[in-house]
Amino acid sequence: MKTLIAPSILSADFANLQRDIEMLNGSEADWIHVDVMDGVFVPNLSLGIPVIKAIKKHANKPLDVHLMIVSPDNYLQVFKNAGADILTVHYEGCTHLHRTIHAIKDLGMQAGVAINPHTPVNVLQDIVAEIDLVLIMSVNPGFGGQKFIEATHQKVKYLRQLIKTKKSKAKIEVDGGVDLKNAPALVKEGVNVLVAGNTVFGSKNPSETISLLKNGK
């Protein structure tokens, strides 16, 4: 399977959001990654429901919505209504993860689970066969532009083995500090989806950068 590229809209120009969405529509991007932060689970605030609805109105790529919030169960239907196609919740933020995952699926969305840098992969061994996606955070969540945590490479390898052992079909997604230098190694190790924010939107030619990420150059 060709590597999927999910540019993070958190790094886009919010004064020209429609323009940047249309750029992504015309690029080789596969998904549009949408970070939602509540200022409680992580020390920052980000996109709200009205902005996600506006993105959905103009996007022709699936919305990959990453919830960095407390009590995500209270908002699953809300994000479905806003236009989420893939909804990822944090292992650290879900008391009843199995129930949350199946509630997401029952709403017709793909279900993902994210783990923070300090969380070991083996916490997912009882759920990995039932989810569509595992998101490995390669920075501490909350802010864009952070440096990639090198231990992520080993976590990807462990996760790939766990997925194989459990006969799971879950994709591996990595988010945080992904750039043109580390992307080829991540793909070789088994990453299926690369989230890139500053690398894409901070480049002189974002569409070309997306193509370079996707084609491993």
> What is the DSSP code string of 128-185?
GGG-SEEEEESS-TT-SSPPP-TTHHHHHHHHHHHHHHTT--PEEEEESS--TTTHHH
- Residue 203 half-sphere exposure toward CB, CA atoms < 13 A: 16
Q: Is 35 a catalytic residue?
A: yes
162 backbone dihedrals φ, ψ, rounded to 5° = -65, -45
The one catalytic residue in 20, 30, 132, 175 is 175
Residue 37 is encoded by which pair of tokens?
Answer: 């932060």
CB-neighbour burial class of residue 95 (10 A; exposed 0-12, middle 13-18, buried 19+):
exposed
Tell me which of 35, 38, 64, 132 is the catalytic residue: 35
Tokens 């916490």 -> residue: 123
Q: 11 is in which domain, residue-wise?
A: 4-214
* Whole-number Å distance between alpha carbons of 184 and 167: 25
CATH of the domain at 64: 3.20.20.70
**Catalytic annotation on 175?**
yes
| Conformation bin of residue 216: beta by default, left when phi > 0, alpha when psi is -120 to 50 | left
Number of folded domains in the chain?
Answer: 1
**DSSP 8-class letter at 2:** P
Per-residue pLDDT in tens (0 to 9) along the chain, 217 residues: 689 999 999 999 999 999 999 999 999 999 999 999 888 888 777 878 999 999 999 999 999 999 999 899 999 999 999 999 999 999 999 999 999 999 999 999 999 999 999 999 999 999 999 999 999 999 987 666 668 999 999 999 999 999 999 999 999 999 999 999 999 999 999 999 999 999 999 999 999 999 999 987 5
- In 10 A of CB 158, how many CB atoms? 13
